[in-house]
Chains A and B, each alone.
Chain A
Amino acid sequence: MKGERLGEFEELILLAVCNLGENAYGVTIQETLDREVRRSVSVGAVYAALDRLERKGYVQSWVGGATEERGGRRKRYYRATNAGINALIELRDLRAELWRGLEALGLSGRNF
């Protein structure tokens, strides 16, 4: 990781975006967090995180897919960029490495 860091909430959002594939936009991302992570967040918070992620270059967005149930307004779809996916992997590896250090001390997850 160079300058940019991935916050915990941003990480969750980014993972949700990856999980949703081609259908990642505000509402579905909020739903995923609610369902999978049991975190109830506002749309505003989701957009704030997406905005930061986009500026860091971890997600890309484009508009499209107007439906009637949203008053004919278009959606802003999000997709993780390669940089985003790399950042996720990097974060996971970093954590795994740190966990190995803990296990070497005999402290595995369940013992906490």
Chain B
Amino acid sequence: MPDRGEHDAQSTPPSGATHLLRRFCPERWVEEVEGDLEEIYRHVAVHRGLYVARFTYWKEVVLFCLWHGLSRMSEYDLTWNASMYKNYLTVAWRNLRRQKGYALINVSGLALGMACCILILMLVRHEFSFDAFHEHADSVYRLVIQETRPDGSIDFRNLIFPHIGETMDEEFPAVQAYTNIVKSTLDLKREDRIFPAQLMMADSAFFEVFTFPLLAGNPATALAAPNGIVVTERMAHTLLGRIDHGSILGEMISLPFRDTTYTFAVTGLMADVPASSSLQFDAIISFKNYEEMPLGANDWGGRTSLYLRLAEGQNTAEFEHAIIPFTTREFGERIEARRQGGYIADHPDAFKLLLQPLRKLHLSPEVDVSYEETPHNPVYSYVLSGVALLVLLIACINFMILSIGRSTSRAKEVGMRKVLGAHRTQVMKQFWSEALLMGLVALVIGIALAALALPFFNGLTGKQLSLSDFADWESLAAVLGLIVIVGLVAGGYPAAVLSGFQPVTVLKGDARTRGNSLFTRSLVVVQYTLSIGLIIGTLVMTRQLDYVLNRDLGFEEDQVVVIHTYNVSRSEAPTVIERFRNELASHDQVVNIARTGYSFTRGGDWNGWTDEHGIQRNTANFGIDYDYLDVMGMEIVQGRNFSREYPSDPTTAVLVNEALVREFGLANPIGHKLVGWGNGYMEQPPTIIGVVRDFNFQSLHTSVEPAVLNMHPDYYMAMGAMLVKVRGTDLPGTIRLLESTWNKLLPDKPFSYSFLSDDLANQYQTERRWRAILTYSSGFAILIACMGLFGLATLMVIRRTKEIGIRKVLGASVYGIMTLITREFLMLVLISSIVASPLAYFGMNRWLEGFAYRITVGPGVFIAAGALALIIALCTVSYQAIRAALTDPVRSLRYE
């Protein structure tokens, strides 16, 4: 195209490429090659345009560099370097052997840091890799309901009506496949073997939505027949005793459910479910059994998790918009009921169906799960990674401090090398490769340590990680990255310092050591600041946890046994509890028994009641009975409790808590008629007969919210739980008694119980895990930092041998010399704690803000952490200090 014309012909080739060329092109050719390439560039520019020309030029340059960059090196560098590197390795090895202690401290510090890092990276990677193994992972979604509460807050509900999937599949072409999922733990039987299996029910397209490879059987038909069952290898092993891929199909397994025993034939054998799957199960049967066997939960008619596989590239927002009329049609009644009940706000957007991407499921703790693994809050992963990097940083700093501290002993070597013609960059390369070598050794040890600590770590985190899950290229790359980072960070500064020695000075024997420089000291300060920060974090967490666990909750959680009675129906409940009372009345270990709709932390019921200003507010409802307050040790602050003397109490009266009185703005609560949700089953608005002192029915992350306690017989859906206050002097005996009574009264139902105090403590499991991880991290951090300090003290004592000798000769006391040596280090630790305190204060305050009830962080924590670090540092240094102070001056002065 000639009309591209003069302009293109005049332009110059991209200068970046030219620089690259000049850097790598053999010098004898630079001019000619540059000329050739420019000629080509001009030619292409005129005929095919500027962009093609630029691209061509870059391509030619890069190819040229690839061709000749290597050969240019080979002319000079490679052969020569190979022997030099060999020499570096030899020298490095000799140095390590000569100073075993130093090498040990250095390598083991790094190895510890790396082991911490590896474990935490494994954990983080595990959390982020959830559900990625499904072939269609990116186009599978869970259908969830987003409700807007009257107060504007958003709530997600995860359970859907069972028929929605099929209807959507028929009506929306974008739905490629769907599957409902429900799950319960049930006993599967085969002859005399029993396997308590996580039994899942799924639609026949399950294997089109999810990718769980079958070792035997046809995924398309395995779940088509109602009596088919797909089992995992693990279950097949336990239940069938063997796995023969050929003949396992057709084996029979029986399942007792309620009063009937169902029989299933194996239609598929599945590899065990990967640990990184949100769906965990041992066996799947067809959803066609659901009518007969309604497994799982119920939330206003919502029962199943519904997964949809949409067409590749389907826009989710469009789809969510397209199903709005469908939602109105299918969920109309429920929406109306929810609105009437005051659960959701009064605008059309208050009830929406949304698509939750499968890949995000595990990282969205705001959406509940019923049958999937508990989601993970990614913030924790970020903070953890930060902690891991801090520990590694501390180890790297160790490495730097020790390398610099030891520089005197290497100074002559550097001088000699330089005299013999070594360039500064060569000396740098030498120390750099030494650091990398150490890093490599540390890595190998670190991996071994991580492997050893893995079972323990799994216990700490509640995961089942194994090293073999991480044997892939990505992990290899991460590990290599780790070495390179460690090599660069830890080896960089020493390399720069050591290579900077002036040969004349050092060879004269006048090596001014740089080990004491300001830089080294600031490194120690950084190290201890990080360590002390972690210690403060641990202390604050421990104190906060103690606080939430020991705080007066407004009721007495001790000695309350919760018997779970979800499987006792509403009609049976009154008789059951009456008979229980009668059976146990005479027993001196049982104080009292009460009935409740939900025991704390085991579910809840939220409804709308109207406050003084006519605004509907979200309120917790508790179904209780006459003895509830007594069993729970709650206090009436105003009015009276429900009483058997007033027969109309159950149907006309409610109790409320102080929070309700406060937030509803009730001036005279007693006698107030409470309007709202209860109108559904109560004939008239109930009267408040008593106010209960605030009690924390939720975790202490939230403050006490308004609550209504009622005992209307129609309120209960099922019995929920029986609360038994026991004397507690013979707990095992009492539990046996309760169990035998249960078995006598309800022989066909399993007995399951917990202690209320345990249930409450379990709310803080995440926090406990955190505290444990932080405790270990800070332990390792301080340990590694101490290794560094110990090394540094050793070096200092060696350097000052003569000085100490002279001081002793002139009459210095042992104590004086110890002070001399330890003083400096203690100063550094002191400075660190001063720097660390405000940093940790801000960090921990952010964490504490997540609690409605929290401790105030006083100076005590900082003093304690500082003192702890100081004492540890003192112990570390004093060994060397004492040794130095006790050395016979004759020996130290003769040493020349």
Bound complex: CA A63 to CA B37 (Å): 16
Q: Are B39 and A69 in contact, with the CB atoms below 8 A?
A: yes
Complex interface: chain B residues within 8 A of A44 (CB): 60, 63-68
Instruction: Check if B32 sits within 8 Å of A71, measured CB to CB.
Output: no
Asked if B39 and A70 sit within 8 Å, CB to CB, the answer is yes
Decide: B32 and A25 in contact? CB cutoff 8 A: yes
Residues in chain A near residue B63, CB distance under 8 A: 42-45
**B-facing residues in A71-105 (Cβ within 8 Å):** 71, 73-76
Q: Which of B31, B35, B67 meets A47, CB within 8 Å?
A: B67
Q: Which B13-39 residues have a C-beta within 8 angstroms of A?
A: 29, 31-39
Would you call A75 and B36 a contact (CB within 8 A)? Answer: yes
Whether A73 contacts B35 by the Cβ 8 Å rule is: yes
Q: Tell me whether A107 is interfacial, beta carbon within 8 Å.
A: no
Q: Is the CB of A27 within 8 A of B39?
A: yes
Report whether A48 and B68 are in contact in the complex, using a CB–CB cutoff of 8 Å: yes
Q: Cβ of B734 < 8 Å from any Cβ of A?
A: no
Q: Is the CB of B67 within 8 A of A70?
A: no
CB neighbours (8 Å) of A48 from chain B are 67-68, 71
* Identity of the chain A residue whose Cβ is nearest the Cβ of B66 in the assembled complex: A44
- The answer to whether B36 and A70 have CB atoms under 8 Å apart is yes
Chain B residues closer than 8 Å to A27, beta-carbon distance: 36, 39-40, 43
Q: Interface residues of A, CB < 8 Å — how many?
A: 21
Q: Report the minimal beta-carbon distance from B810 to chain A, rounded to whole angstroms.
A: 73
Let me know if B672 is at the binding interface, CB within 8 A: no
Question: How distant is the Cα of A63 from the Cα of B35 in the complex, in angstroms?
Answer: 12
Determine whether B42 belongs to the interface, using a CB cutoff of 8 Å to chain A. Answer: yes
Alpha-carbon distance between A42 and B66 when the two chains are bound, in angstroms: 11
Which residues of B52-75 are within 8 A (CB) of A? 59-60, 63-68, 71
A26 to B587, CA, bound (A): 106
**Chain A min CB distance to B2 (Å):** 16
Report the separation of the CA atoms of residues A70 and B38 in the bound assembly, to the nearest whole angstrom.
Answer: 5
A42 to B12: give the CA distance in the assembly, Å: 20
A51 to B63, CA, bound (A): 16
- Contact between B36 and A43 (Cβ–Cβ < 8 Å)? yes
Write the chain A residue with the least CB distance to B36.
Answer: A26
The reply to whether A47 and B29 contact each other, CB–CB distance below 8 Å, is yes
Complex CA gap A70/B40 in Å reads 9
B29 touching A76 by the CB < 8 A rule? yes
Bits for A16-33, please: 1 = Cβ < 8 Å to B, else 0.
Answer: 000000000111001000
Our pick among B31, B42, B65 for the contact of A73 (Cβ within 8 Å) is B31
In the bound assembly, the distance between CA atoms of A2 and B68 in angstroms comes to 27
Interface residue count on the B side (C-beta < 8 Å): 23
> Could you tell me if B68 and A73 are in contact, using CB atoms closer than 8 angstroms?
no
| Contact residues of A between 36 and 58, Cβ < 8 Å to B | 42-45, 47-48, 51
Task: Give the one of A44, A51, A70, A76 with max B CB within 10 A.
Answer: A44
Query: What separation, in Å, do the CA atoms of A70 and B34 have in the docked complex?
Result: 8
Q: CB-nearest residue of chain A relative to B29?
A: A47
Whether A25 contacts B36 in the complex (CB less than 8 A), given A42-B63, A45-B67, A48-B68, comes out as yes
> Does A42 contact B67, Cβ atoms closer than 8 Å?
yes
Q: How far is the CA of A18 from the CA of B263 in the complex (A)?
A: 87
- The answer for the CA separation of A43 and B35 in the assembled complex, in Å, is 11
Complex contact B38–A43 (CB within 8 A): no
User: Which positions 823-879 of chain B face chain A at CB distance < 8 Å?
Assistant: none
Contact with A along B60-103 (1 / 0, CB 8 A): 10011111100100000000000000000000000000000000
Query: Whole-angstrom distance between the alpha carbons of A26 and B66 in the complex?
Result: 17
Q: Chain A residues near B71 (CB, 8 Å)?
A: 48, 51
User: What residues of chain A lie closer than 8 Å to B33, measured between beta carbons?
Assistant: 26, 43, 47
The CA of A23 and the CA of B829, in the complex, are separated in Å by 76
Closest to B24 in A: A44
- Which residue in B29, B42, B65, B67 is a CB contact (below 8 Å) of A69? B42
Q: How far is the CA of A55 from the CA of B223 in the complex (A)?
A: 73
Q: Say yes or no: A43-B32 contact (C-beta < 8 A), given A69-B42, A73-B38.
A: no
* Chain A residues, Cβ within 8 Å of B36: 25-27, 43, 70, 75
Cα of A74 to Cα of B32 in the assembled complex, Å: 6
Cβ–Cβ contact A26 & B32, under 8 A:
yes
Determine if A43 and B64 form an interchain contact, defined as CB atoms under 8 angstroms apart. Answer: yes
Check B40–A43 contact: CB distance below 8 A: yes
A47 and B68 contact, CB distance less than 8 A: yes
CA of A48 to CA of B60, assembled, Å: 13
Return chain B residues, CB-CB under 8 Å to A63.
31-32
For the complex formed, measure the closest distance between the CB of A10 and the CB atoms of chain B, giving whole angstroms.
14
Residues on the B chain within 8 Å of A51, using CB: 71
Q: Nearest Cβ distance between residue B502 and chain A, in whole angstroms? A: 42
Q: Looking at the complex, which one of A30, A42, A45, A70 makes contact with B35 (CB distance below 8 Å)? A: A70
Nearest Cβ distance between residue B24 and chain A, in whole angstroms? 10
Cβ of B40 to closest chain A Cβ, rounded Å:
6
A48 and B35 alpha carbons, distance in the complex (Å): 16
Q: B31, A43: Cβ atoms under 8 Å?
A: no
Chain A proximity of B325: nearest CB distance (Å):
59
Report the minimal beta-carbon distance from A46 to chain B, rounded to whole angstroms. 9
Assess the B32–A73 pair: CB atoms within 8 A: yes
- In the assembled complex, how far is the CB of residue A27 from the closest CB belonging to chain B, in whole angstroms? 5
Instruction: Specify which chain A residues have a CB less than 8 angstroms from the CB of B40 in the assembled complex.
Output: 27, 30, 43
Interface residues of B in 145-193 (CB under 8 A from A): none
Contact B34 A73 (CB under 8 A): yes
How far is it, in angstroms, between the C-alpha of A8 and the C-alpha of B63 when the chains are bound? 20
A67 to B38 Cα, complex, angstroms: 11
Could you say which of A45, A51, A66, A73 has the most chain B C-beta atoms within 10 Å of its C-beta?
A: A73
Among residues of A, the one whose C-beta sits closest to the C-beta of B39 is A70
Q: Which B residues are CB-close (under 8 A) to A71?
A: 12, 34-35, 38
Q: Give Cα distance in the complex from A103 to B36, angstroms.
A: 44
Interchain CA distance A45-B59 in the complex, whole Å = 12
Q: How far is the CA of A67 from the CA of B65 in the complex (A)?
A: 24
Rounded to whole angstroms, the CA-CA distance of A51 and B60 in the bound complex is 17
Could you tell me if A75 and B32 are in contact, using CB atoms closer than 8 angstroms?
A: yes
List A contacts of B67 (CB < 8 A). Answer: 42, 44-45, 47-48
**A30 CB contacts on chain B under 8 angstroms:** 40
Residue of B nearest to A66 (CB): B35
Q: How distant is A95 from chain B, measured CB to nearest CB, in Å?
A: 28
Are A47 and B64 also in contact (CB < 8 A) when A25-B32, A73-B31 are? Answer: yes
Give A5 to B34 CA distance when docked, in angstroms.
30
B401 to chain A, nearest CB (A): 47
Q: Chain B residues with Cβ under 8 A from A70's Cβ?
A: 35-36, 38-39, 42
Residues of chain A within 8 A (CB-CB) of B39 are: 27, 67, 69-70
B13 to chain A: closest residue by CB: A71
Expressed in whole angstroms, the minimum distance between the Cβ of B839 and any Cβ of chain A is 54
Q: List chain B residues, Cβ under 8 A from A76.
A: 29, 32
Which A residues have a C-beta under 8 Å from some C-beta of B?
25-27, 30, 42-45, 47-48, 51, 63, 66-67, 69-71, 73-76
**17 more A-B contacts (CB under 8 A) besides A47-B29, A67-B39, A70-B36?**
A26-B33, A26-B36, A27-B36, A27-B43, A42-B60, A43-B60, A43-B64, A47-B64, A47-B67, A63-B32, A70-B38, A70-B42, A73-B32, A73-B34, A74-B31, A75-B36, A76-B32
Leading 8 A-B pairs by shortest Cβ distance: A73-B35, A44-B64, A26-B36, A44-B67, A76-B32, A42-B63, A70-B35, A70-B39
- Can you sample 16 A-B contacts with CB below 8 Å? A26-B32, A43-B40, A44-B63, A44-B67, A47-B64, A47-B68, A48-B67, A48-B68, A66-B35, A69-B39, A69-B42, A70-B36, A70-B38, A71-B38, A73-B34, A75-B35
